Amino acid sequence: MKAFLAILRRDLRLSLGSGGIGLPVVFFLLVATLYPFAVGPDGALLARTGGGVLWVAALLAALLPVDRLIAPDAEAGVLDQYAVRGMGEEMISAAKITAHWIGFGPPLMLAALPASAMLRLDVETLAAVELGLLCGTPGLAALGVMVASLTAGLRRGGALAGLLMLPLAIPLIIFGAGSIGDFGGGAVRFLAASSLFLVAVAPFAAGAGIRALRE
């Protein structure tokens, strides 16, 4: 538990220092700004489709930090140091997922507030998007760390990460966007279930990925 908290603190401090938290948020807001330019500033159209656009923006924003989640630590030998200390790779992955979510989920939920104003969303849609992001971003964070561990040893890992991550994120966007229509209904439970499944599986897959990096 002490090691878990130490990794959590270190990763959070690093992502705060390197601007790793700001980048996805700014990207998210930029996509929300581009969309009205693309379809025209028609209030009714924006209000009807805006919630889904925010989900697409969240998925794309989740791709941005992937190449700095595992690869820098692997290159600098930090992961080898953890292994020498006898820390389990699964525990390291769980700590990294937690740290990544803290730096990714809540800031995105905050950024959804101004974005919803730009897209003219009403209060119910905004509440559904916020609830959906609260349920869905842990799954996105878990997926990000998992894909990061699989692509960390590659030269062009960043380009490949999207191809690996987006198909696996499809359940999240289907149920996330589906939950906008009926607040608190079945879709948001499916969203929470798929997110929980990813959070439960990812530490083991990412742990195996980190071990594979050493070969």
**Angle 43-63/89-118 helices, nearest 10 degrees?**
160
In sequence order, what are the residues at sequence separation of 6 or more whose Cβ sits closer than 8 angstroms to the Cβ of residue 75?
none
Kindly state the smallest distance separating residue 21's Cβ from another protein, in Å. 27
Instruction: Output 56 or 164, the one with its CB closest to another protein.
Output: 164
Among 132, 136, 203, 209, binds another protein (CB under 8 A): 209
User: Which positions from 157 through 176 interact with another protein, judged by CB under 8 A?
Assistant: 157, 160, 163-164, 166-168, 170, 174
Where residue 42 falls (left for φ over 0; alpha for ψ -120 to 50; beta otherwise) is beta
Does 20 bind another protein (CB under 8 A)? Our answer is: no
List C-alpha distances in Å: 41 to 44, 96, 116: 9, 40, 14
| Interatomic CA distance for residues 95 and 164, integer angstroms | 22
Cα(190)–Cα(159) distance, integer angstroms: 30
Residue with Cβ nearer another protein (26 or 212): 212
Q: Is 83 in the site for another protein (CB under 8 A)?
A: no
**Three-point CA angle 23, 49, 126, nearest 5°:** 65
Which part of the chain contacts another protein (CB under 8 A), choosing from 88-96, 132-140, 147-155, 176-184?
147-155
CB 178 to another protein: min, Å: 11
The reply on whether position 151 binds another protein by CB under 8 A is yes
CB of 137 to another protein, least distance (A): 19
Site of interaction with another protein (CB under 8 A): 146, 149-151, 153-157, 160, 163-164, 166-168, 170, 174, 201, 205, 208-209, 211-213, 215
